[in-house]
Amino acid sequence: MSTWRDDPNAIPPWNERPKCHCGFRTWLQVWTDPLPQGKQGCRFFKCPDIDDDFKACTFMQWINTRPLGRVRFHQVETKGQYYARHTQAREEARLAREEQERRVRQQQREAALKIQEEQFQAREAQLKREEDELKNRYKEPAQSSTSDGRNKKGKFLRFT
């Protein structure tokens, strides 16, 4: 089974490209100069040089150490193709990040609702207990008047 590394005209998937020193995914090129000897026709990754700080990034990584035969294109990937892939990858990353943030917010909302529900149930239980206490307080039978040593008319009884 051949991969993009074996096929001289294949463009590698975005996520399999190395990153240059600038932090960007690299641009696929074919070496067209006769020097160094034996490298003409070899593919390599290089910095896309899209950073606006005007520093020269010298990143370069060979894919093939010897030519793979006749290469149909001298430039395997144009700047426009690179920028399109770069933009698409950034958009996919942004959408994935937004989806992750949406999931986190949803989990936070669900957790907050669960806490509120638990607090509501605890408050409901507390109110029920207080209501039961009030009912029990009024349901208790009145103390008999003789319990403190008085008769029904309020006079103290003599115990002999």
Specify if 151 maps to a domain: no
Specify if 112 maps to a domain: yes
Q: What is the helix (H) or strand (E) element at residue 46, kind and residue range?
A: strand 43-46
- Domain that includes residue 53, residue range: 1-77
Output DSSP code: residue 125.
H
Q: pLDDT, tens digit, for every residue of 129-138?
A: 999 888 888 7
Buried b (16+ CB within 10 A) or exposed e, 124-142: eeeeeeeeeeeeeeeeeee
Here the tokens at position 112 are: 């907050």
The number of domains in the chain is: 2
pTM for the complete prediction?
Answer: 0.45
Q: pLDDT, tens digit, for every residue of 21-76?
A: 888 888 887 777 777 777 777 888 888 876 556 667 788 888 866 665 555 545 56
Give yes or no: residues 85 and 44 share one domain.
Answer: no
Lowest mean pLDDT among 55-59, 73-77, 110-114, 115-119: 73-77
Tally of CB atoms within 10 A around 1: 3
Give yes or no: residues 73 and 96 share one domain.
Answer: no
